[in-house]
Amino acid sequence: MVFPPHLGIGGKIAHYSFILFCGFVFVFLVAPILVIIPLSFNAEPYFTFTEGMISFEPEAYSIRWYADIAKNPQWAFSAANSIIVATCSTFLATLLGTLAALGLSQSHMPYKSAVMGVLISPMIVPLIISAAGMFFFYSNIGLAQTLPGLILAHAVLGTPFVVITVTATLTGFDHSLTRASKSLGADSRKTFFKIQMPLILPGVISGALFAFITSFDEVVIVFFLAGFEQRTIPRQMWAGIREQISPTILAVATILVVVSILLLTTVELLRRRNERLRGISKS
């Protein structure tokens, strides 16, 4: 670090403590997530580093907890449920959310702010209230304790993310592109699929990923709406944490961390591609 010459000793101390503080915050943010990865390979059923692990003895590490997951059919069953629910609800949320965002971003849209307020509300209302409301609603129409009920409930929770990301993509959208396309003879359908769609696609995909992770991680609604047959991974983890926390939970958690790193990387790459396409990249 090169300091300007006028910076005194006090300024240097201030600067270093600032850097130190920021370092501490980054550790606080990331360490809890990363620490469970090595712990999930613990050969002993402890939740802390054994002496063998610290001195990197190979026999202190094992994949027994991962083997446990594979052995227990309940995890495979929950994983299947989670993937089905998350995929279907994401599809629904993305479809409805993208259409709505296309409408909302038009200047002719009436009552824009009020409608937007309603559409974003599933993200704001405390989950426990949403869950309680949906519990009665889906029980009344006979969809409680079924996968379709869970899918619909999760789709509502996912839509705000799609609306927000797609609207954000559309705010930078240059409408002269569609006019150019039309003046060159393309009809509106062709204009949409050839011009508009490719440009907003990154926004749509990151919205979809947000919706996916929302459903994939959701446990409160599952708590109220799902029976044993519809158990998802978070529900299974919840039971594990509540009853008797075993290192198997850490192994599952590690797998989920890897999944979220993959999703995050995808979203980041999409965001950059989007910025590059629209020519607003600053780097």
Partner 1 sequence: MTSILTADGTPLKDSLYKAEKGRRVKAFLLVAPLLLFVLVSFVFPIFEMLFRSVDNPVLAKNLPLTIEKLQKWEGTNLPDQETFTLVAKELLIARENSKVGKIAARLNFEAGGMRSMINKTVRKVRKYKGNDYKKALIQFDKRWGKVVTWKVLKRIGQRYTGVQYLAALDLKVNADNTIGFQSEDRRIYVKIFLRTIWVSFLVTIFCLILAYPVSFLLATLPLRISNLLLIMVLLPFWTSLLVRTTSWIVLLQRNGVVNDILVALNIISEDGRIQMIYNQTGTLIAMTQILLPFMILPLYSVMKTISPSYMRAARSLGASPLKAFVRVYMPQTTPGIGAGCLLVFILSIGYYITPALVGGRSGQLISNFIAYHMKSSLNWGLAAALGTILLFAVLILYYLYNKIIGIDKMKLG
Q: How many CB atoms lie within 10 A of CB 53?
A: 18
- Residues 139-178 close enough to bind partner 1 by CB under 8 A: 152-153, 155-156, 159, 161, 163-165, 167-168
Q: How many CB atoms lie within 10 A of CB 102?
A: 16
- The residue within the footprint of partner 1, chosen from 78, 97, 169, 248 (CB under 8 A), is 97
Q: Does residue 36 bind partner 1 (CB under 8 A)?
A: yes
Rounded-to-integer distance, Cα 273 and Cα 199, Å: 10
Three-state SS at 37: helix
* CB nearer partner 1, residue 173 or residue 223: 223
Q: Does residue 271 bind partner 1 (CB under 8 A)?
A: yes
- Residues 195-234 close enough to bind partner 1 by CB under 8 A: 206, 210, 213, 216-217, 219-220, 223-224, 234
Rounded-to-integer distance, Cα 20 and Cα 105, Å: 43
* CB nearer partner 1, residue 181 or residue 215: 215
- The residue within the footprint of partner 1, chosen from 5, 185, 242, 244 (CB under 8 A), is 242
Angle at the Cα of 248 from the Cα atoms of 242 and 249, rounded to 5 degrees? 45
Beta carbons of 78 and 233 less than 8 angstroms apart: yes
Nearest approach, Cβ of residue 114 and partner 1 (Å): 10
- Single-letter code of the amino acid located at 61: Y
Stretch that binds partner 1, among 67-75, 83-91, 134-142, 192-200 (CB under 8 A): 134-142
Nearest approach, Cβ of residue 179 and partner 1 (Å): 15
Rounded-to-integer distance, Cα 83 and Cα 144, Å: 19
Nearest approach, Cβ of residue 107 and partner 1 (Å): 9
